[in-house]
């Protein structure tokens, strides 16, 4: 048997970067810069506060996001994409281009598949 990570060496990175909510969080931090928690909530409207907290902690642990605590009254916490996270920018840009060029083809293929499946029934 072959270890899946040995068969596909990018699998660990895909698990980190493309897990649910990671991409939108990194995208927002890359596009808009340093953000407070509530600003992230406003920009990613469908994420719950609990999940946002969990994902931010994981991204901080993975080194893709930095968290800065300001001991003020009231306390202020800001999140920012790290240099490591920013290094994913070319990958995201390439995927954005691929999406623009190929997503219509994916939708067309799905329609064709679904139509053929309906005809077979």
Contact assessment for residue 65 and residue 59, using Cβ atoms and an 8 Å cutoff:
yes
When pLDDT is cut at 50, 70 and 90, the band that residue 116 belongs to is: very high
To the question of pTM greater than 0.95 for the whole model, the response is no
Q: What is the pLDDT of residue 5?
A: 62
C-alpha Rg value of the chain to the nearest Å: 19
For residue 6, give both structure tokens. 């040995």
| 63 φ/ψ sector (left φ>0, alpha ψ -120 to 50, else beta) | left
Q: Where are the beta strands (DSSP E) in 60-115?
A: 65-70, 76-81
When pLDDT is cut at 50, 70 and 90, the band that residue 18 belongs to is: confident
Please say if the pLDDT value at position 14 is more than 70.
Answer: yes
- pLDDT 10s digits, 51-77: 999 999 999 999 999 999 999 998 899
């Amino acid at each position: 048997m072959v270890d899946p990570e040995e068969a596909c060496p990018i699998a660990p990175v895909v698990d980190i970067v493309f897990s649910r909510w990671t991409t939108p969080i990194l995208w927002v931090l890359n596009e808009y810069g340093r953000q407070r928690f509530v600003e992230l909530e406003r920009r990613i409207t469908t994420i719950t506060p609990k999940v946002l907290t969990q994902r931010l902690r994981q991204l901080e642990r993975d080194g893709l996001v930095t968290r800065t605590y300001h001991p003020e009254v009231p306390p202020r916490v800001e999140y920012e994409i790290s240099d490591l996270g920013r290094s994913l920018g070319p990958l995201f840009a390439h995927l954005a281009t691929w999406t623009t060029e190929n997503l219509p083809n994916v939708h067309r293929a799905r329609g064709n598949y679904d139509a053929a499946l309906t005809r077979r029934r």
